[in-house]
Structure 1
Amino acid sequence: MNVLAIGAHPDDLEILCGGTLALYAAAGHRVTMAVATNGNVGHPTLGRDEIAALRHAEQQASADLIGAELVWMDFDDEWLFNDRPTRERFIDVIRGCGPDVVFAHSPTDYHPDHRAAGQLTVDARIPSAVRLVETTLPAAERIPHVFLMDNVGGIDFVPEVHVDVTGVMATKERILLCHRSQDAWLRAIYDGMDYVSFMHEHAGARGAEAGVAFAESFREVRTYPPTGSIELLPGTVRRAGEAAP
């Protein structure tokens, strides 16, 4: 199975679905991590080009750790918009991967780049398989099934399903720690925020809802045409509100 996750910034995927991607990769599925923006404003001292190059290298190291492919879309950080050229680029990312499953940001997330990336992904889903929607790549063979990722911190997101990532939390931590420059930036701008502790708290809170130690949470994009179900998710999946055995 081909799995595509599209994040707005370097590190978003590691926080919101890194464990799930690690489970897919460990099961032998093809995993692609696509990152829309290059993080080129997120550093207390470096210039834009230096930051972008550093963030790219860190994202590549993260993808390499789980054997994922990386698509670096290289839009400017903080300036992602749902216009025609950008949507065409998202369509080509889907066409180039040929995914069965796509993970996207929720439209209720806190960051405008997150919201834009999520809407772009959902909007590109059907056109990616339409022959006469002409971009640089030919039409995809199928319309993929889309899951919305949890919001950062779980704010304003109502989970539909949880994936038990307890067994891959060490991997989730390792791929997150590849983003050393983001760790430094968050500590600088958010008054000493501990990146890894934040991730553990988030996954732990969702795990408590699911009756496991750590979980990642999702919602299905249910729209016409139906293309799949939660059975496409890896590992132990529990619907929100379902009692633990």
Structure 2
Amino acid sequence: MSDEHRPPRILAIHAHPDDVEIQCAGTLALLKEQGCHITIATMTAGDCGSAEMGPEEIARVRRGEAQAAADLLGADYMCLEFRDFCIIIDHEGRRKTTEAVRRARPDIVLTAPPVDYMSDHEMTSRLVRDACFMAPAPNYSTEQWDPAPPIDAIPHLYYTDSVEGIDWFGNNIPPDFIVDISRTIELKQEMLACHASQRNWLLRQHGIDEYLESSRRWSAARGQQAGVAYGEGFRQHSGHPYPGDNRLLELLNSSS
């Protein structure tokens, strides 16, 4: 099949294991139905995500949980092996993130929002934006062992919702559009349930219980705004020189 007629390749890359599941797994499931190749990537393995296990032990657990969630979707999984709270915008961070984009070879990238409640999310957003820009540049070297070749063009780039859809001051961040995930909400919840280590951590660290139900409630809130049962919100990065046509929404609408 020629590149012109093949289903798009999708990269969903966020900071930690479970971020993708919370923010865009329902949309990924719809894309998988379209025959898209899906790669889920996390910047870290979540090494600070436990009060009982040490960093290496919880990182092993969380890599396994992320892989199990990706397996439910039939997606590839990769971890870039940053450490929690050590995602930094520097030369090394750009090289690692650009290499990940080149290896995934995406047509469409979904990533963290520019403004969110924690630095790891915001730094991920910046690094992925830069990586999408540099991934096609043949003279930009990632300096990795056996590096992937440059991709053909800057991919379409989209940001997921921030947590609770708000900025640092509690102001709403409206999405550009909301994807109807009503028929994939149960798979989204099954994927999130793979991250069993995080329920107790969030209860202790953030005072959040009902790990799965809080995700369902937020999906229902976004869905209500679009007049559907469940939804996921996105904003597109359409400034120069990123693609401005909404390929994600066009692709999803073509299946309805």
Q: State the TM-score, normalized to the length of structure 1.
A: 0.93
Name the % identity: 37
Contact in 2 for aligned 1:105/1:150 (Cα 8 Å): yes
Contact in 2 for aligned 1:106/1:149 (Cα 8 Å): yes
After superposition, where does 1:215-230 map in structure 2 within 5 Å? Answer: 215-230=231-246
Contact in 1 for aligned 2:10/2:37 (Cα 8 Å): yes
Opposite residue 153 of structure 1, the aligned amino acid is E
> For residue 209 of structure 2, what is the aligned residue in structure 1?
193
Contact in 2 for aligned 1:128/1:143 (Cα 8 Å): yes
Structure 1 residue 146 corresponds to structure 2 residue 157? yes
Q: Write the distance in 1 (CA, Å) between the matches of 2:221 and 2:104.
A: 32
Opposite residue 26 of structure 1, the aligned amino acid is E
Q: Figure out how many residues of one structure are paired with residues of the other and give that number.
A: 237
After superposition, where does 1:146-165 map in structure 2 within 5 Å? Answer: 146-156=157-167, 157-165=173-181
Contact in 2 for aligned 1:19/1:169 (Cα 8 Å): yes
After superposition, where does 1:117-156 map in structure 2 within 5 Å? Answer: 117-135=124-142, 136-156=147-167
> For residue 252 of structure 2, what is the aligned residue in structure 1?
235
> For residue 115 of structure 1, what is the aligned residue in structure 2?
122
Q: Write the distance in 2 (CA, Å) between the matches of 1:21 and 1:61.
A: 15
Contact in 1 for aligned 2:110/2:159 (Cα 8 Å): yes
Instruction: Structure 1: state its 5+ residue gaps.
Output: 238-245
User: Alignment partner for residue 48 of structure 1, among 52, 55, 67?
Assistant: 55
SS in structure 2 opposite 1:180? Answer: coil
> For residue 74 of structure 1, what is the aligned residue in structure 2?
81
> For residue 243 of structure 1, what is the aligned residue in structure 2?
none
Contact in 2 for aligned 1:95/1:128 (Cα 8 Å): yes
Contact in 2 for aligned 1:163/1:236 (Cα 8 Å): no
Q: 1:116 to 1:227 in 2, by over 3 A?
A: same
Opposite residue 236 of structure 2, the aligned amino acid is E
Instruction: Structure 2: state its 5+ residue gaps.
Output: 1-7, 168-172
Q: 1:70 to 1:197 in 2, by over 3 A?
A: same
Q: CA deviation at 1:145?
A: 0.6
Q: CA deviation at 1:191?
A: 2.8
**Deviation string, structure 1 residues 66-90 (Cα, Å, up to 9, x no partner):** 0010011111112111111111011
User: Alignment partner for residue 71 of structure 2, among 59, 64, 85?
Assistant: 64
Q: State the TM-score, normalized to the length of structure 2.
A: 0.89
SS in structure 2 opposite 1:189? Answer: helix
Q: Write the distance in 2 (CA, Å) between the matches of 1:231 and 1:117.
A: 22
Which stretches of structure 1, 4 residues or longer, exceed 6 Å deviation after superposition?
A: none
Q: CA deviation at 1:190?
A: 2.4
SS in structure 1 opposite 2:197? Answer: helix
